[in-house]
DNA sequence: GACCGAAGCGAACAGTGTTCGTTACGTACA
DNA sequence: TGTACGTAACGAACACTGTTCGCTTCGGTC
């Protein structure tokens, strides 16, 4: 009528909508501007369309975030294991890669904590873990329970890390603030916390240690 | 003017606003109607007031949820330990109590994953944990790192459990759905997952086992 | 009896996820 | 060549959300 009949896709080479391009755009926004900026409207605007158009490819925001999580996990199963090493070192590397991948995108790890993993790449990670645990000689039940525990830990460690990375400008600041808060605590009410404030806030490779604790514990704790 | 000058608090024995009553009301709503129902407007309505009034006692929604978490943790430090038992059993009981307390209220455990604990009751829990770990003969650094790991696990385990409790009507249904999904997976792509589907979905006391794994691992993995 | 700090609150702002009904398109077929 | 069709895309709207501003009203103090 009043508007001239221009093609909807008149602009040069505008990529068509698809689930994958939506997921990728979501990850872009998440990395660039954080979790609060990840709205359906923002994703739509980035793709030069309206929010309603996204719902053809994505059931809702939760579905989008689940897909983003799986996309983020994609490189993990293909992490090159340190050559010529045993199952323990390879499992360790896999765990580190999973934590790293999830913690790199704010808020995605929380998604993993809320649902049994069913995504393609999450299942591949779990499959690799199971293979390594079996290689380590564990019986089926212990291996099954262990992979649950390991995956849970990976998600939790990533959630914690990404929260500190983004909420405060850097982890240093957040820890320093908490340290100061602990310093002001009454020792009669919190004797151990105040006494051990030094070690509690001392730097150190806790991620590596945590994974070692889990593997050592799993090896010495048969299920059932 | 037009409205008669009735006392704002004319109704019989209406409780005055306070941080504590707001927190308690929030927990009530959370337990009764779930996380989605926990809005500032809903809390205000329950207290027969407007949303603006809450901000005198609560900085924002996150602050409210943090306070709710700490309130939920209140009974944990006072869990009666099984009489005449060693530090290991008491630590185990403390962990179970913490997981239980956090998982009883949907979404609260996620709060614990996002911040270094500074609440009164959370710190008491941590203090108890540290005391028990020291009683177990651990050095200061290992005890400090261990309490980090234990608290993280408690929050994660609670988050996972409460998600399953509420998203599906009950855990049984959610697990059954995931089991069916796993059954349809191609074995050539996920050999271990499909092979171990039985043990993966078999029932069993994984919470207890998980805590045992952590304690065993901590005892055999000195920090640093 | 006048005053005053603060608690309480009505209304509004700037957004949110999601759905409805309609439009415009590429394709398949006559 | 012309037309019908399934569906992707979309504009507008709905029913909310957290939070803030500035006004009103209260209880307690000089």
**Which residues in chain B are closer than 8 Å to A206, comparing Cβ atoms?**
145, 148-149
* pLDDT recorded at residue A169: 56
**Residue B48 phi, psi dihedral angles, 5° rounding:** 60, 45
- Give me chain A's average pLDDT, please: 89
| Smallest CA–CA distance from A151 into chain B, residue | B156
- What mean pLDDT comes out for the span B187-208? 95
Nearest nt to B5, CA vs C1'? Answer: D25
pLDDT of B15 higher than 70: no
CA distance B83 to A210: 31
User: What is the pLDDT at residue B178?
Assistant: 87
Nucleotide nearest to B10 (CA to C1'): D26
User: What is the Cα gyration radius of chain A?
Assistant: 22
Exposed, middle or buried: residue B9 (CB in 10 Å: 0-12, 13-18, 19+)?
exposed
Residues 33-72 of A with CB under 7 A from strand D: 48-53, 56-57
Judged against a pLDDT cut of 70, whether residue B34 lies above it is answered with: yes
User: What is the per-residue pLDDT for A80?
Assistant: 77
- Strand D proximal to A15 Cβ, under 7 A: no
- Going by C-alpha positions, the residue among A165, A162, A145, A146 that lies closest to residue A72 is A162
What is the distance of C-alpha A138 from the center of its chain?
A: 27
Q: Which residues of chain A have pLDDT under 50?
A: 1-13
Class in CATH terms, A74-219:
mainly alpha
Distances (CA, A) of A21 to A18, A64, A107: 5, 11, 20
Q: pLDDT by residue (tens digit) across B79-94?
A: 877 777 899 999 999 9
Q: Rounded to an integer, what distance in angstroms lies between the CA atom of residue B43 and that of residue B45?
A: 5
Q: Which residue of A has its CA nearest to B220?
A: A216
pLDDT of residue A15: 63
Q: Degrees (nearest 5) of the Cα angle B34, B177, B155?
A: 45
Q: What is the pLDDT of residues A153-187, one digit of tens each?
A: 999 999 999 887 766 556 777 788 888 999 999 99
User: Within chain B, what is the greatest distance between any pair of CA atoms?
Assistant: 79
Q: What is the pLDDT of residue B79?
A: 85
* Mean pLDDT, rounded, for B99-125: 93
B214: CB partners within 8 A, 6+ apart: A213, A214, A217, B149, B150, B153
Out of B130, B163, B212, closest to residue A115 by CB = B163
Q: Identify which of A5, A45, A8, A7 has the alpha carbon closest to the alpha carbon of residue A25.
A: A45
In chain B, positions 188-217, which contact chain A (CB-CB < 8 Å)?
Answer: 189-193, 196, 198-200, 202, 204, 206, 209-210, 212-217
Please report which helix (H) or strand (E) contains residue B31, including its range: helix B19-33
Q: What is the pLDDT of residues B124-170, one digit of tens each?
A: 999 999 999 999 999 999 999 999 999 999 999 999 998 877 655 56
The pLDDT value recorded for residue A4 is: 34
Q: What was the pLDDT predicted at A83?
A: 73
Domain ranges for chain A: 19-58, 74-219
In the structure encoding, which two tokens stand for residue A72, read together? 């983020």
Q: What is the pLDDT of residue A11?
A: 38
DSSP B122-148: HHHHHHHHHHHHHHTT--HHHHHHHHH
Sign of CA dihedral A47, A51, A53, A56: positive
Cβ separation A143–B199 shorter than 8 A: yes
Query: B220 to chain A: which residues are within 8 Å by CB?
Result: 216-217, 220
The third-level CATH classification (topology) of the domain covering A19-58 is Arc Repressor Mutant, subunit A (1.10.10)
Size of chain B in residues: 224
pLDDT higher than threshold 60 for residue B2: no
Does strand D come within 7 Å of the CB of A220? no
Predicted local confidence at residue B168, as pLDDT: 53
Q: How many H-runs (helices) and E-runs (strands) does chain B carry? A: 12, 0
Contacts of A189 in chain B (CB under 8 A): 124
């Amino acid at each position: 009528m009043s508007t001239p009949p221009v093609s909807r896709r008149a602009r040069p080479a505008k990529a068509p909508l698809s689930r994958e391009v939506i997921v990728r755009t979501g990850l872009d926004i998440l990395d660039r501007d954080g979790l609060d900026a990840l709205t359906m409207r923002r994703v739509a605007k980035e793709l030069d369309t309206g929010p309603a158009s996204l719902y053809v490819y994505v059931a809702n925001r939760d579905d989008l975030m689940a897909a983003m999580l799986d996309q983020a996990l994609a490189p993990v199963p293909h992490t090159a294991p340190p050559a010529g090493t045993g199952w323990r070192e390879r499992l360790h590397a896999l765990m580190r890669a999973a934590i790293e991948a999830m913690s790199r995108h704010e808020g995605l790890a929380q998604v993993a904590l809320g649902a049994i993993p069913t995504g393609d790449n999450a299942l591949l990670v779990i499959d690799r873990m199971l293979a390594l645990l079996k290689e380590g000689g564990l019986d089926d039940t212990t291996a099954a329970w262990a992979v649950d525990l390991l995956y849970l830990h990976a998600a939790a460690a990533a959630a914690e890390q990404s929260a500190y990375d983004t909420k405060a400008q850097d982890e240093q600041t957040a820890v320093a603030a908490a340290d100061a808060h602990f310093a002001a605590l009454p020792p009669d009410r919190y004797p151990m916390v105040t006494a051990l404030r030094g070690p509690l806030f001392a730097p150190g490779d806790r991620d590596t240690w945590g994974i070692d604790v889990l593997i050592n514990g799993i090896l010495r704790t048969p299920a059932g």
